[in-house]
Chains A and B, each alone.
Chain A
Amino acid sequence: MKKITKYVIADILRNKIVIGYTAFLLVISLSVFNLEDNSTKGLLSLLNIILIIVPLVCIIFSTIYIYNSSEFVELLVSQPLHRRNIWISLFTGLVSSLAFAFFAGVGIPIILYAPSATGMIMLAMGLILSVIFVAIAMLAAVITRDKAKGIGISILLWLYFSLLFDGIVLFLLFQFQDYPLEKAMVVVSAFNPIDLGRILILLKMDISALMGYTGAIFKDFFGTGLGFSISLAILFLWMIIPTWLSLRKFNKKDL
């Protein structure tokens, strides 16, 4: 299992895309911190990268990688190896290389320029989102044999999590605006890892605006140690459940 993971990591690192991704993140974060006069604004620009670019790259790259290594996977399956081990090491390899790319590209500039609580939570959320979207990509890739379809599914999933979900939430908010929805919103946010991550970051970043009535409810929940642990647990579930589902599917799949 270790060997396969090592091979996957080596293969991905040889692949120029991840190196390009790292360089791209590094250039953007360095320029963001150097161009803006205060680090808060720099963090703000980075927020968009973490919430949009990181999930997009993770989900697309992982999907394509899994499809491209289907022959390699078939080869491995023919060996006396557990399918479970193959799949998990594939996951571990993808996660560790993409998380490393994120850490090198965004983490180091954050540590250098904005080593505040906000910076740290952004770094943590970026890493967590990387893992979650690799997991979702593996689920998308295992669902169908057709590469084009699989990539389509993962793009749609990304679009759903980063855009459509929020649109639906906004629509519901205005449809049901006569009802007290503040508490419901806390629950709804658990259904989208990007939203959950964003709220956890905002609680550190825009604390004064969030101290309004709704914000106070968010703060009462997410700001406490218990709420924070619960939301971290939910993010953890977002990593586990797609991986587990994809693993179940992969175990039964006719390759």
Chain B
Amino acid sequence: MRKKIFISACFFFACIAVSARVIKAGKHQAYPSIQQAIDASVPGDTVWVEAGVYREKNIVIKKSIFLSGDHYPVLDGEHHYEILSVKAPNVTIKGFKLMNSGISSLEDIAGLKIYNVSGVVVDSNILQNTFFGIYVQGGKNCIITNNQLKASSQTEQQSGNGIHCWKCDSMQITGNNISGHRDGIYFEFVTNSIIWRNISTHNIRYGLHFMFSNNDAYITNVFQNNGAGVSVMFTRGVKMFNNRFEDNWGDGAFGLLLKEISDSYVIGNKFIDNTSGIFMEGVSRVQIERNEFKKNGWGMKIQASCMDNKIAENNFLANTFDVGTNGSLVLNSFDGNYWDKYEGYDLNKDNRGDIPYHPVSLFSVIVEKNPPSMMLFRSFMTSLMDKAEKILPSLTPENLKDDFPYMKPLPL
């Protein structure tokens, strides 16, 4: 039976290979418009588009074809239309420049929209000034790779998300460069997907916005200078490896916001120059390991609603405050990190400090309760209070401590 299927599959693919044609569109070709060329094609054909500017309102693809652009033909939406709509499975779109989609507050107009199909590949395209960039709704096994998305709107209302996935499964978002959108990458109800090697910068709201999306991974991405950093919410089984979270400044801006996350991993990331490196609320059973927290206002803000998280083998370097919290209940483990503010000693030379380190300073508790007291930061009196608190903890959570702090920074 299996053999039969294999043979018939071979035959099927051979047929496609035999029947595939190349249909050329362009000013000097048989079909002057792309839509005409697509209408003339059969599934499996290649539609090759000559360089030039095409104003064809909305181009709809209803056949499984390979749409290929030569030297980035420009598809102009004239600030009014959705430029490309993909309504057939296994379509590949490569090498186009999509510009000026419409903007609407009623509809989600995108540069390229994929409607409930699977196996679509969007490769090496340039999107400029689109409302939503690449919008996938109900997609499966789609690949969005090496695209450049750039928008320049000023307000959240006037801009959509760069790569927007809604109710998708098994997506691959790799090597894209996104800037100036509302959210760089937006995931809602997306499962079993990977976000790899993307660069998301200068977006108005979040670099990556992630909700109800279980069992996804994002690896080796750069999120820089976004309005509010990266937000991961209401999700379990997320793997966050080797990303960089940089320069997210402002009250309510976080390198990484984790809200209602469970059974996840945050490993090998770098958090540099953020107001808060990680902000955690209602997070449970998450491992935060081998990360570097450097030059942040708060390395980590961990609310009392978090439990059973393991924070180990991280480097905390040159942060204003290492850890902030809002209560005295501590159900997380902080053992075995490097803290550059640690002042203990190591008598038995095992590279672990002999006395515990309390990463929450009295002053960070005071600031948490009364933000204007930030004015007194680093004043003589508050340093005195911090010292006194270190000897006799009274206000800071006594259990929030690292019993085995490293003496030297870990090589990360």
Contact = CB atoms under 8 A, between A and B. Distances in A.
Interface of A: 38, 40-41, 44, 47-48, 51-52, 162-163, 166-167, 169-170, 173-174, 177, 181-182, 185, 188-189, 194-195, 198-199, 202, 206-216, 218
Given A208-B273, A209-B275, A216-B251, A166 B374 contact: no
Majority SS at the chain A contact face: helix
A51 B375 contact: no
Contact of A166 (B274, B321, B379): B379
B262 to A, nearest CB: 28
Given A206-B320, A208-B275, A214 B374 contact: yes
A190 to B, nearest CB: 12
Contacts of A198: 378-379
B344 interface: no
B379 A209 contact: no
B249 interface: yes
Nearest to A164: B381
- Chain B CB within 10 Å — which of A166, A195, A216 has the most? A166
Given A51-B380, A166-B382, A213 B318 contact: no
Contacts of A51: 379-380
Interface residues of B, number: 33
Contacts of B30: none
B275 A173 contact: no
B383 A167 contact: no
Interface in B307-343: 318, 320-321, 340
A54 to B, nearest CB: 12
Contacts of B383: 48
A210 B384 CA distance: 21
A181 B298 CA distance: 22
A186 B42 CA distance: 71
Contacts of A47: 378
B318 A41 contact: yes
B162 interface: no
Given A169-B376, A173-B372, A212-B374, A206 B318 contact: no
Nearest to A208: B297
Contacts of B366: 170
Nearest to A38: B318
B381 A163 contact: yes
Nearest to B298: A209
Contacts, number: 100
Nearest to B296: A208
Given A41-B318, A170-B366, A216-B251, 11 more contacts: A40-B318, A48-B383, A162-B380, A167-B381, A188-B375, A206-B320, A208-B249, A208-B295, A208-B296, A209-B296, A212-B275
Interface string B273-304: 11100000000000000000001111000000
Contacts of B369: 177
B373 interface: yes
Given A163-B381, A208-B273, A214 B249 contact: no
A213 B366 CA distance: 15
B250 interface: yes
A44 to B, nearest CB: 8
A129 to B, nearest CB: 13
Contact of B370 (A41, A174, A210, A211): A174
A181 B372 contact: yes
Contacts of B379: 51, 162, 166, 194-195, 198
Smallest CB-CB A-B distances: 4 pairs: A209-B297, A209-B320, A208-B297, A213-B251
A211 B375 CA distance: 12
Nearest to B321: A209
Contacts of A181: 372
A172 to B, nearest CB: 10
Contact of B371 (A170, A194, A211, A213): A213
A62 to B, nearest CB: 20
A107 to B, nearest CB: 20
A118 B352 CA distance: 33
Given A208-B274, A208-B295, A166 B380 contact: yes
Nearest to B364: A209
A21 B161 CA distance: 61
13 contacts: A170-B366, A170-B381, A170-B382, A181-B372, A202-B377, A202-B378, A208-B249, A209-B297, A209-B377, A211-B251, A213-B371, A214-B372, A215-B251
B318 A52 contact: no
Interface string B246-266: 000111010000000000000
Interface in B346-394: 366-367, 369-384
Name the residue among A47, A213, A214 with the largest chain B CB count within 10 angstroms.
A214
A87 B253 CA distance: 54
A206 B382 contact: no
A206 B376 CA distance: 13
A170 B376 contact: yes
A122 to B, nearest CB: 12
A166 B379 CA distance: 8
B55 to A, nearest CB: 44
In this complex, which of A163, A173, A195, A212 has the most chain B Cβ atoms within 10 angstroms of its Cβ?
A: A212
Contacts of B384: 163
Nearest to B409: A37
Give the most central of B295, B366, B373: most A CB within 10 Å.
B373
Contacts of A218: 374-375
A217 to B, nearest CB: 9
Nearest to B384: A163
A40 B379 CA distance: 17
Nearest to B251: A213
B375 A199 contact: yes
A52 B253 contact: no
B380 A211 contact: no
Nearest to A174: B370
